[in-house]
Structure 1
């Protein structure tokens, strides 16, 4: 039996692999990747590498073996994810894996924004597959709001159509640690975990924290959805991505990712989640 991680060379996948290496022998870990080149560093550490592409379902035929535990990390390609995830579910069912874990979205059944629909479809596919499963309903990654840190500092501005909505985010390392727990410990099959940070913050809170740590005045500007969409298009984003971002922030305004209960993430990782201030500090150090 092996533990197989899809998207193993991505940000979350790499963190999951690191966590697994602390708990199980490298030879029991499988990294699923699209190319050997991308997974070369993992192979050098003794991790098995299997090449597969979710867009080419036939390549998944040998990706899983009977009794494997599989972590399906949700894809990022808008418009493709449902089919990609279905290909993994089908291959896992054919192989007879012992557990299929999936990184879904916080409160997936109630998530009424666009990205929620993709996760709802995949959860439905998993539930009807007959496979033992665990649903890791991840909230938002704090790093997603700090990826343009240099630009925020240059402009002194954070802009969103989320209003005063709150985000109960956590770090990718927190979510990765939860996945490692679900994959290496018993008793998680059949569970759906609502994973969010211990504290919810507003975009005004984020601006204030960046100001405090960077000595650069950063302000939050609440804009309308149409104003936000126009700005994103002017910045060169494709229309589909702009619409997705606007839709997500509208969801934040409705409180869809503000819930800090029921403390599933803290209980799975055995510690408090990474505070916003710590994530800001780590980002500043990396500049």
Structure 2
């Protein structure tokens, strides 16, 4: 039995859809805070169990009988270390054969502020002594696609990544990798550094966006504090704006680059091309 936590989220849903292509629905558990939010998965035969990272009693019930558990990192930055430790402790009590954790690309050396809670979680997993595999996910291309409508509207793509190269991949690529690891044997103890096959600068992304849209969209590189202020001014919550600006600054220092091709090797196909994803984003913005 495979348990996927955070199954109502974007990544979790994609992981379950990937698993459904390979294993019976009844052997998959969607572990979520609000079971009603995944009624569609239940209708496909997937087991649904309540699992709240802040309530260990729900975790014990969710992991009962589990063979493997995928811990998808919490979206609540600043609270994740404690939440993840609750999951790790529950996994240990359940005696599962494998815990897979979605960490951050090169977490132990990353310049991104996001890395701290991932490093702490990886340490908690080691201390617990549970059989585990680390899925160190790089940047989701969707993180930049979200800026496409505004870039087309204002005629510029802004950021603070300088000439840093970003090896992003589609969320579905990372989901396929997680499913592959959960299905395979012999994964305990492995660390995967997962990133897209092709890296780009944000200037190159803007050029590709210009080609996809037929509209000139230059890249404007801002100081980190100005980019953060621009994101906040566009309506993003201040903590999110700060996180994204910090991540761009980290990208400028190589934090989102990797050329090991472990992701495409794991999923058995090339990662989704940036040009394809941009074309789809432009079509949605039309």
Matched with 2:154 is: 155
Deviation at 1:128, TM superposition (A): 1.3
Alpha-carbon distance in structure 1 between the residues aligned to 2:195 and 2:241: 25
What secondary structure, in the 3-state scheme, does the structure 2 residue paired with 1:212 have? helix
User: Normalising by the residue count of structure 1, what TM-score does the alignment of the two structures yield?
Assistant: 0.96
Deviation at 1:35, TM superposition (A): 1.2
Q: Does 1:192 align with 2:153?
A: no
Alpha-carbon distance in structure 1 between the residues aligned to 2:34 and 2:229: 37
Distance 1:231 1:22, change over 3 A: same
Q: How many residues align?
A: 285
Give the conservation status (yes or no) of the 8 Å contact 1:26–1:46: yes
Matched with 1:265 is: 263
Structure 1 unaligned blocks of 5 or more: none
Matched with 1:3 is: 2
1:276 to 254, 274, 277: 274
Matched with 1:22 is: 21
User: Normalising by the residue count of structure 2, what TM-score does the alignment of the two structures yield?
Assistant: 0.96
Alpha-carbon distance in structure 2 between the residues aligned to 1:230 and 1:143: 21
Alpha-carbon distance in structure 1 between the residues aligned to 2:189 and 2:203: 38
Give the conservation status (yes or no) of the 8 Å contact 1:30–1:48: yes
Deviation at 1:67, TM superposition (A): 4.7
Q: Which range moves more in the overlay, 74-83 or 2-11?
A: 74-83
Q: Does 1:93 align with 2:92?
A: yes
Structure 2 unaligned blocks of 5 or more: none
Alignment of 1:76-91 (within 5 A): 76-91=75-90
What secondary structure, in the 3-state scheme, does the structure 1 residue paired with 2:255 have? coil
What secondary structure, in the 3-state scheme, does the structure 2 residue paired with 1:108 have? coil
Deviation at 1:66, TM superposition (A): 4.3
Give the conservation status (yes or no) of the 8 Å contact 1:66–1:98: no
Q: Which runs of 4+ in 1 moved over 4 A?
A: none
What secondary structure, in the 3-state scheme, does the structure 1 residue paired with 2:35 have? coil
Q: In the TM superposition, what whole-angstrom CA distance separates every residue of 1:121-175 from its partner, at most 9, and x where no partner exists? A: 0011111111110000000010110013222211111111111111100111111
Alpha-carbon distance in structure 2 between the residues aligned to 1:205 and 1:153: 15
What secondary structure, in the 3-state scheme, does the structure 2 residue paired with 1:39 have? helix
Deviation at 1:186, TM superposition (A): 1.0
Matched with 1:240 is: 239
Matched with 1:211 is: 210
Alpha-carbon distance in structure 2 between the residues aligned to 1:183 and 1:37: 25
Matched with 2:54 is: 55
RMSD: 1.3
Q: In the TM superposition, what whole-angstrom CA distance separates every residue of 1:44-80 from its partner, at most 9, and x where no partner exists? A: 0000000121122222120102452000011111211
Give the conservation status (yes or no) of the 8 Å contact 1:112–1:251: yes
Give the conservation status (yes or no) of the 8 Å contact 1:101–1:134: yes
Alpha-carbon distance in structure 2 between the residues aligned to 1:171 and 1:271: 13
Matched with 1:35 is: 34
Q: Which range moves more in the overlay, 143-152 or 18-27?
A: 143-152
Give the conservation status (yes or no) of the 8 Å contact 2:135–2:194: yes
Deviation at 1:265, TM superposition (A): 0.6
Alpha-carbon distance in structure 2 between the residues aligned to 1:35 and 1:167: 35
Deviation at 1:264, TM superposition (A): 1.0
